[in-house]
Amino acid sequence: MARYVFLLYDAEDWWDTADDHGVVDEMRLHEEFAAAVRDAGASVVGGEALERSSTASTVRRGADGALVTDGPFADTKEGLGGFYVIDAPDLDVALRLAKICPAGNVEVRPVLEIPDDV
């Protein structure tokens, strides 16, 4: 199995208009996604929903040290809303799962495998 991180990007303003039923429906979609992952012979190893990007802090390192600023590094309508860590047989399976993941856009990244002797 290989490990992948799914970075979930979506419109942040969705939460401004979502009622309780909308939130329940969204959570149900994520439960169905987790079941589809299992059915594909893969597994969800971890994941979290994230607060809005307006709550983020960014630390930039430069020649003069580290600078902390409020918010994300880019002004965008879509924000990083959460992530999954998935163990999948291969990239093809991971991409197939990303296509059914309940998020606006899903960035799939393989996790770097670092040998134990490093």
pLDDT digit string (tens) for 70-88? 876 566 677 899 999 999 9
| pLDDT number for residue 90 | 97
Q: What is the pTM of this model?
A: 0.85
Alpha-carbon gap, residue 10 to 16, rounded angstroms: 13
Q: For the chain, give the mean pLDDT.
A: 90
Hey, is 1 helix, strand or coil?
coil
CB under 8 Å to 102, separation ≥6 — which residues? 26, 29, 30, 32, 33
Domain spanning 2-110 has what CATH number? 3.30.70.1060
Structure tokens belonging to residue 80: 């990083």
* Statement: residue 47 has pLDDT above 90: yes
Mean pLDDT of 83-111: 97
pLDDT band at 19 (very low <50, low <70, confident <90, very high): confident
| pLDDT number for residue 34 | 97
Among 56, 96, 95, which Cα is nearest to 75's?
A: 56
Mean pLDDT of 45-50: 95
* Statement: residue 33 has pLDDT above 90: yes
